[in-house]
A and B are shown apart, each in its own frame.
Chain A
């Protein structure tokens, strides 16, 4: 099953390599991974779409949590989600089929961002099913090029935010700031 995982990470040098390296080292498959800064410049947020059975996904989450630069990990799959992907499609559109292509563009509330005599370049955003449906309809016209950003996702209800960089966490006794899900994840 497909899972959408939200990950907050310290915006440190090499953090993307740590996350992607973990996936390859442990044999997990990534469908897509996006990353960008959040409201806090020191924190980046990744959205990872990966598939696997529940045990595999539970392992992925726990292993991500173990990375020191990972602040929080949440499986968004069962949340009420807003998920979006941005896609650019360059499609063949000579005069005789141009209208039909434009109709599809309109139906999906996509945008035409570039035009020449032979092709149209379309920009579309949406969830996975919308994008797939549109690409399916465009395919018979001849797609030259597709670029996808990968999915980004946000829960409608709960916020995924980083705790403040807390000063004054003592060394041996109290430990670091709780990674919220670390202990709970493993609870059977």
Chain B
């Protein structure tokens, strides 16, 4: 029996095991929404397509399975661009399906036409324009395959309305064959031996682990490597959770707002072992002054990441999990040989711990976040916006579970927090999902409170209301002579309590420090979504801080 293109598309999604789709309908995608109506796939109606992409992204990061969004053509498709770019920068698996005008109208500036394949080419791992109803199944199969394998990423399928109405026999391909696409898995054995040799000799080795290790599901292998060798480990913001931060070998996060001891360790190391990390400038600081004494081993699934910004002494291209399994067979316990180094690091840890000034009058974000960590036993899924609260969440939650921190690290997308929390909650309904957001960031996608309310998605949204674009204000305080150009939110913020109320969401306000723990507990005890409005110190700064363009050890810390 012949099916319409729309039916074929939906059936293909079912075949790929899709259980939820985030989106919003419109003209060019109506046939597909009509087919979706008959499907067992759950549909989540969003309020803005950017939200749909962040939800799909949150779903993808929380599981490793591509999240899916479905939107119409033109303005809806262009609304997905920020979400696609966010997912692309952080290698989040996602499949985005956009409606398109009929193939016969493409190029004629038809109503709600946009060159979506052209617009999204630089922000997707791959994209497709479906031009023939007989190609749908192959394209869907390839899209999911490409999105989740290798270095994961977003894939877009642009789906013209006439193709969705055309008919064909349904047959789902059993296999994918793309001759231009290869997925590295095991590392080259010679390179593994070279890497192990360096690790077995180094006197001041340091592991630097990023989101690639999370994506590859390598937390056991990372743990084994550290346990076996005794080599200290620092992670990027996207690597948080890959290794328990309360472990004595953990140096916590490195980079611009990383711990002093992580940054000192990297700078002083004689061997840096980068695992699924890409030497982002927020991590390396001044690139020419980055770990000047170290040999560098780089393990990554993406050959193009290797030697992109730093010179590398030994590279291993492969899936981090496989490569670490190989490496773990070759490395030795180094604790005795690197004792002096470990003692030095301990001394740095004692001298420069992460700290904040607890106060009885104002609420410090560090305090709230540390308490959220304690109350949730460091096991919740945390999402964030972008800014100070994001860095404090990275510093103070104390992550210990992989896929526990979902944040826009590469693109730095304000507005990522709430929708990604909704996506993560849909993917993992039994977990506690907490969004730690800024009063600025949250307003970029706060319309999705309606989505959380309508579907009773029980995310806990903590808005850290410092009445500023805090991170911008911090830079202006430190580097622009306190000229707060465009960073004060002043009286323009909405009444967040009333906002929650307007959406029919429970609201809790935390106004003073002694309300912090009870407020958190009350929020967590509530079954549905909650907005926790936290009135926090207005002009605090995130420290430590390595100013942009400085070496990692040129760090400003709290006095």
Contacts and interface: CB of A to CB of B under 8 A. Distances in A.
Interface string A151-164: 00000000000111
Given A14-B117, A175-B149, A188 B314 contact: yes
Nearest to B303: A186
A182 B129 CA distance: 26
A4 interface: no
Interface residues of B, number: 37
A34 to B, nearest CB: 20
B308 interface: yes
A182 B308 contact: no
Nearest to A175: B183
A132 B184 CA distance: 44
B189 to A, nearest CB: 12
B352 interface: no
Given A63-B304, A66-B302, A177 B118 contact: no
A18 B128 CA distance: 12
Contact of B182 (A59, A69, A176): A176
Interface string B116-133: 011001100110010100
Nearest to B300: A186
B525 interface: no
Given A17-B118, A182-B184, A186-B317, A169 B303 contact: no
Interface string B303-335: 110111000111101100000000000000000
Contact of B181 (A17, A162, A176): A176
Contacts of A167: 175, 177
B502 interface: no
B173 to A, nearest CB: 10
A55 interface: yes
B531 interface: no
Interface in A172-188: 172, 175-179, 182-183, 185-188
A166 interface: yes
A171 B312 CA distance: 32
A10 interface: yes
B307 A58 contact: yes
Contacts of A18: 121
B175 A168 contact: yes
B182 A186 contact: no
Interface in B179-201: 179-185, 188, 191
Interface in A37-77: 55, 58-59, 62-63, 65-71
A9 B176 CA distance: 18
A70 B126 CA distance: 12
A65 to B, nearest CB: 7
Contacts of B308: 59
A38 to B, nearest CB: 14
Given A183-B184, A186-B317, A176 B307 contact: no
A186 B118 contact: no
Interface string B281-314: 0000000000000000000001110111000111
B149 A188 contact: no
Contacts of B126: 68
B496 interface: no
A166 B126 CA distance: 20
B306 A186 contact: yes
B185 A175 contact: yes
Contact of A169 (B129, B177, B313, B315): B177
B304 to A, nearest CB: 4
A183 to B, nearest CB: 5
Given A10-B180, A21-B122, A179-B180, A169 B185 contact: no
Dominant SS among interface residues on chain B: loop
B131 A13 contact: yes
B306 A179 contact: no
Interface residues of A, number: 42
Contact of A68 (B180, B184, B188): B180
Given A14-B129, A188-B315, A67 B191 contact: no
Interface string A1-45: 000000001100110011001000100000000000000000000
B81 to A, nearest CB: 14
A107 interface: no
B145 A171 contact: yes
Given A13-B131, A70-B180, A179-B182, A65 B304 contact: yes
B149 A71 contact: no
A177 B177 contact: yes
Given A13-B131, A14-B129, A176-B181, A65 B175 contact: no
Contacts of B182: 175-179, 182-183
B178 A176 contact: yes
A75 B304 CA distance: 16
Contacts of B307: 55, 58, 186, 188
B146 A166 contact: no
A170 interface: yes
B147 to A, nearest CB: 11
A19 to B, nearest CB: 11
Contacts of A68: 125-126, 146, 178, 180-181
The residue in B121, B126, B181 that gathers the most chain A C-beta atoms within 10 A of its C-beta is B181
A65 B305 CA distance: 12
The residue in A17, A70, A175 that gathers the most chain B C-beta atoms within 10 A of its C-beta is A175
A17 B117 CA distance: 10
Contacts of B183: 175-176
A165 B182 CA distance: 13
Interface string B212-226: 000000000000000
B51 to A, nearest CB: 26
A176 B131 CA distance: 24
Interface string B131-156: 10000000000000110011000000
B180 A69 contact: yes
The residue in B145, B149, B307 that gathers the most chain A C-beta atoms within 10 A of its C-beta is B307
Given A62-B306, A172-B149, A183-B303, 19 more contacts: A9-B180, A13-B131, A14-B118, A21-B121, A21-B122, A55-B307, A68-B181, A162-B179, A165-B179, A169-B178, A175-B184, A176-B180, A179-B182, A182-B317, A183-B184, A183-B318, A185-B303, A188-B307, A188-B314
16 contacts: A21-B122, A68-B146, A68-B178, A162-B179, A168-B175, A170-B175, A175-B183, A176-B182, A177-B181, A177-B182, A178-B182, A183-B184, A183-B188, A187-B191, A188-B312, A188-B314
Going nearest first, the 9 A-B pairs with the smallest beta carbon separation are A175-B183, A186-B303, A62-B304, A176-B181, A186-B306, A177-B179, A68-B126, A71-B180, A179-B182
